[in-house]
Chain A
């Protein structure tokens, strides 16, 4: 009886008696969710345009952040380093198209998926070789990202908001909005979706696969860089960051692999769910709930909507 009370009644009583803490928890969940969404976005981009689940997205986040920090450490001014990193991500997209995707045109999706595994290890190896394996500090101030925090008085208490988190939320929202319009409304966006559906049909209307793939991997690289900067600002830039990419999986299951808005909504649900669970129900389970709750939420969704909240219905003719 007391267990039921602890699960179903007590957390809500706490929420009611300390609303400022609830708002604080929701805000933290929202920020974490937006950052998860950014990683998920990288996966969605490449999946939408090539039907390939890109296992290397996580390491692309690390690699881009390392490049940025590494260039700065070698005396390159911050914004020049940013521009150079964008150039590096373009070169990477170009190389991936030339060396990995082009020779594998018309192969089964699983072959391309395995190729992204290979890519992951190449990026880990070359990243460590060039920049070393030790954690580095993100150059937040030099990029004019805000630091410090707002303290807002509300509901009989204070809610703390890190300025960098606010910036992350704004940047992520802008990126998602831009990409959503880009995919839905532009010629290249339509071409990207076309390539995902059928290579040969896309070729027959004159869409160049090479060009499309470079664009989409470059876009995923830019998203990776943004993710790297934001996550790097919260913790450090190290290879451990690659693990957070796994957090994108439940987000993708929730939002659907093919939906850009889905990535955001999924990210927020997972982020907020995680923080609420940790804060209010965590003590019941001896905490640590944060590390697995996301997967449980995703599993429940999977039972009822296998294509995700916003994913394209999977239609199979028999």
Chain B
């Protein structure tokens, strides 16, 4: 069980907020008029039935989708839409619902790819593997090894990730996101398709990331037990509309949420 971390998550300390955001694909409204915020240091869950617009929401935050209406404020800067590069550069990292790794590359190279934006030496120096560029590479490698230790994936470092079992692929993907040293980490169903043991491992990593690095986390998850245990606050979407927002136990009791999950008698 997670003790509500209360004090350090001040109400005013908003890291990211979306206001009145709407996104439609042709005639399909994926997200309509949704507003919520994510506070610095919290674990924020986004839940809802299938097709509720959860992943669309993450894609909007991370700049993959550009909403037709509304605005996004990240670190005090308000804009109508994110671009993936700006999101990554500003400190938003993410994982994907169906793992998106660089399959032909080793676990180590995948995680190193997460450091792309942190490397500054130009490539002529890197090509010569000399002086400052080499020192930089070593420093980054050092950080990456820390992450590898943290996620306990030392023995698969040199394995092309395409060959790894699913649970480990998810872990490498988390490692790549962590390598970006993000301020905001978006996790799209980090535990989908995992067995109980793997889920427990992953939950521990998520909590550790939040505790040790103080990383703010927004996650989509279907396993209600996990959501209730992990998150500080929950936002519930259904058919692209926000139907509830609050502490896990408040949300759990909300009649609208129960109806959305179980259906209503007409």
Contacts and interface: CB of A to CB of B under 8 A. Distances in A.
Interface of A: 178, 181-182, 185-191, 193-194, 196-198, 200-208, 258, 312-313, 315
A187 B114 CA distance: 10
A207 to B, nearest CB: 6
A240 to B, nearest CB: 36
B217 interface: no
A204 B62 contact: yes
Given A187-B119, A206-B85, 11 more contacts: A193-B105, A198-B103, A201-B102, A202-B102, A203-B63, A205-B113, A205-B117, A205-B176, A206-B84, A206-B116, A315-B163
Contact of B105 (A178, A182, A186, A194): A194
Interface centre among A190, A202, A315 (most CB of B within 10 A): A190
B217 to A, nearest CB: 15
Contacts of A194: 102, 105, 113, 116
A203 B126 contact: no
Contact of A315 (B89, B103, B113, B180): B103
A313 B113 CA distance: 21
A197 B116 contact: no
A197 B94 contact: no
A191 B113 contact: yes
A200 B58 CA distance: 13
B126 A185 contact: yes
A205 B93 contact: yes
Contacts of B93: 204-205
Contacts of A178: 127
Interface in B176-195: 176-177, 180
Nearest first, the 5 closest Cβ-Cβ pairs linking A and B are A206-B88, A197-B102, A201-B100, A186-B126, A203-B84
Contact of B88 (A181, A182, A187, A205): A205
A186 B124 CA distance: 9
A207 B176 CA distance: 13
A202 B100 CA distance: 9
A187 B123 contact: yes
Nearest to B89: A206
Given A190-B116, A315-B160, A204 B100 contact: yes
A203 B176 CA distance: 13
Contacts of A190: 105, 109, 112-113, 116
Contacts of B112: 190
B129 interface: yes
B64 interface: yes
Contacts of B103: 197-198, 315
A313 B96 CA distance: 24
A197 B104 contact: yes
15 contacts: A181-B127, A185-B127, A186-B126, A187-B116, A190-B105, A190-B109, A197-B104, A202-B113, A203-B85, A204-B84, A205-B114, A205-B176, A207-B113, A312-B160, A315-B160
B126 A258 contact: no
A187 B126 contact: yes
A198 B102 contact: yes
Contacts of B105: 190, 193-194, 197
A182 B122 CA distance: 12
A188 B119 CA distance: 10
Contacts of A182: 123, 127
Contacts of B119: 187
Given A186-B123, A191-B116, A200-B64, A206 B180 contact: yes
A186 B121 CA distance: 10
A198 B101 contact: yes
A188 B115 CA distance: 11
Nearest to B62: A204
Name which of B85, B94, B113, B180 has the most chain A CB atoms within 10 A of its CB.
B113
A198 B100 contact: yes
B73 to A, nearest CB: 20
A221 B162 CA distance: 31
B128 to A, nearest CB: 9
Interface string B33-76: 00000000000000000000000000000111000000000000
Contacts of B89: 206
A174 to B, nearest CB: 12
A256 to B, nearest CB: 11
Contact of A205 (B64, B121, B180): B180
Interface in B3-61: none
Contact of B96 (A188, A196, A197, A200): A200
A11 to B, nearest CB: 41
A278 to B, nearest CB: 37
Nearest to A203: B84
Contact of B162 (A188, A189, A202, A315): A315
